[in-house]
Amino acid sequence: MQEDSPTQVGEPLDPHREPLDAPRERPIFTGFLPRLGAFLIDGAVLYFASYLLHEGMRAPLLYLNPWLPWLGHVAVLLYFWLPTSPIGGGQTPGMMVLKVHVVSAEGGGLSWSASFKRALLKKMVLFVLNLPLYYALILPISLRSGALVGLTVLHVACLTLTIALALSVGMHPYKRGWHDLWAGSYVTPRPTPEGFAYLHNEEPEPIIQSRLRMHGKMTFLFWLLSTIALLFQPMKSYTLPEFKAQSRRIQEIQALHPIDPHEVMLLAQPNVNDIENLRQGIQSRRAQAVAKGQDAPSTESLRAKVFFDGESIVVQTFLRHGRFRPESLSDPVFHEKVEDLRHAAWAQWQARLQENPDDEKGRPLPAARRFVLVLYEPFMILFNRSAVRGKIEGPADPAEGDMDYEHVEPR
């Protein structure tokens, strides 16, 4: 005997009824997780492209320094802009993989201006991949300390923007982030579900209207408060007299004792904080070695691997333009410049001790035992692939001995 179908039991046959095994309507708007997945795929594409440029074109690209980090962000802006512009299909490579796309309120493609707005705000998330100091290197040394404050604010604001954008997508009834709201865009499965036009033209239900009103207020409040909280400590350090004094020392060293073609990026003097950080790091490394059944490394071996040990005058420089030349380490003229720099740094340290032998917390300043000059070759296209190419080390007091010059091979 043949089993009765559901339409034959207790109800008349409806010719317009949808079969039970019919596929369900797809979600009209793409949710948070698929969008996160698309962004991570795009990030992987950008990372791989950065790696290929580093491996295959590092030498010629070095001549674009110090503008290279900014040019990298221009390339990223184009990556997110052009695929969603009128000449693109509304999809970045990550969106293609997950079969979603960006549409306007009418269901069509975005205009040039709308796609630019969306790409610009989205790209700011990646601004946090490099430290603010690297972005300030395009400026004259006299302007860097002031620019560093502004770039730090931007850096932290972009960091919290990353979380705010994720929250805005997750909390919005139509899964629209700030970049979507600014550009007037929506993200939907591809092809666009038929219900998109209907839902967009209908007046939202009262509960949806309430969520829409609260969405912008709540996400903006989160972004503002989290940005202020994370900025408190760096802004506090920028107001300390030592920050201004350090900026003055760097400008003085660079102006009076240049070591062209390298330029001073950072100058650190002995301090108690670095000593404490080194001590904690040594304890942690020894505990890890013991846990793995290995011999505990000695203090001196670990100290030799770090620049900032709290008892050294450390000068970090960057090659402003072009490639590092290893033969420069044996150039007598370069040696004279380095010795001149070491004498100037030692004189600055002695002057500071005479002015005030204690730090800002009233702790006695440690003795300066070592002078270290680090030569960086910067390479930053979105991701930082800079390399130490030279290390010059000797006693902090020039009267106590000569310097050792070491060429560091890039990894």
Cβ contact 177:163 at 8 Å: no
The per-residue pLDDT for 26 is 66
Q: What's this model's pTM, rounded to 2 decimal places? A: 0.81
Token pair recorded at residue 106 = 């009418």
Q: Identify the CA nearest to 58 among candidates 319, 393, 335, 338.
A: 319
Distances (CA, A) of 219 to 160, 173, 202, 203, 224: 11, 14, 25, 23, 9
Cβ contact 380:72 at 8 Å: yes
The per-residue pLDDT for 25 is 59
d(CA 230, CA 153): 9
Q: Identify the CA nearest to 253 among candidates 388, 376, 347, 362.
A: 347
What secondary structure does DSSP assign to 222-256, as a single string? HHHHHHHHHHHHHHHHHTSHHHHHHHHHHHHHHHH
Q: How many CB atoms lie within 10 A of CB 331?
A: 13
d(CA 146, CA 136): 9
Q: Is 68 helix (H, G, I), strand (E, B) or coil?
A: helix
The per-residue pLDDT for 301 is 76
Going residue by residue through the chain, which has 411 residues, state the pLDDT in tens, using 9 for 90 and above.
444 444 343 444 343 444 434 344 568 899 999 999 999 999 999 999 999 998 889 889 999 988 988 999 999 999 999 999 999 889 999 999 999 999 999 888 999 999 999 999 998 988 888 888 888 888 888 888 889 999 999 999 999 999 999 999 999 999 999 999 999 999 999 998 888 877 766 777 888 888 888 998 999 999 999 999 999 999 988 888 888 888 999 999 988 888 988 999 999 999 998 889 888 888 888 888 888 888 877 777 777 777 888 899 999 999 988 899 999 999 999 999 999 999 999 999 999 999 989 888 888 999 999 999 999 999 888 888 889 999 999 999 999 999 999 999 876
d(CA 390, CA 365): 28
Residue 145, CA atoms < 13 Å, CB-side half-sphere? 19
Q: Which long-range contacts (CB under 8 A, 24 or more apart) does 174-181 make?
A: 174/29, 175/29, 175/30, 175/31, 175/32, 175/35, 176/29, 178/121, 178/219, 179/117, 179/118, 179/121, 179/122, 180/118, 181/216
Beta pairing class for 370-377 and 380-381: unpaired
Cβ contact 174:162 at 8 Å: no
Cβ contact 383:129 at 8 Å: yes
d(CA 122, CA 76): 10
